[in-house]
Amino acid sequence: MNKKVVISLIMLNVCFMQFIGILTEENKSATGFGFAVSKNIDCESCSKTTSILLSHCFKNGFEIGYEKASIEDSDIGSSGIQLGYHFKNDGPNLSLGYFQGEIEQDSFSLIDVEGLSLILYSDDGMYFGFLKNKLTSDYYSGEIDDESVKIGKMVNLSESIFLGIQYTLNLDNNIEEGNIGLGFGFKL
């Protein structure tokens, strides 16, 4: 599995995980179900990554989410859980998140992933985030530290339907490539 494939999965994994917290008003709770598609725009041989997401944000700002992702035309996928906390303010809002998951091939775990995220966002859904991930693998006998930034916009199309678009740039010195992601979902 090449590093571009791994980075594409990681970029999508934390792309839309905190979507419900960003869209939920202060002191309210919500549950959401979404779909996301992502493509590395600087890699012509890379396939699209698709994802299914489920997330719940509590009234106190705590959010928990689960995601299952796969790469088109391959047997490589990922799954993970994210915990986050949203600090809602009159000015910019802040979300701190922790992600833990794995990348697998044919149901065999290849890489364990842990990550931290810091996201600043406005009440209208515009956001900017920084992601720090640590990937470890006994199979590949190695460890990768990965950093990326993301900018995007989440929009409520109606009371229960939302749309999101995001650009993520990997800051790794060896991979200066970007991912574009599109998400769509329902707030329950």
**Alpha-carbon span 135 to 123, nearest angstrom:** 33
- Please tell me the pTM assigned to this model: 0.83
Specify whether the CB–CB gap between 133 and 115 falls below 8 A. yes
Domain extent, residue 147, equals 3-187
**Structural domain count of the chain:** 1
Q: Can you give the CATH number for the domain in which 178 is found?
A: 2.40.160.20
> What average pLDDT values come out for the chain (188 residues) when binned by 10 residues?
51 61 89 89 79 93 91 82 91 91 77 89 91 79 80 90 89 70 89
Amino acid letter for position 100: Q
**pLDDT for 1:** 47
**pLDDT for 86:** 94
Ramachandran category for residue 31: left, alpha or beta (phi over 0 → left; psi -120 to 50 → alpha): beta
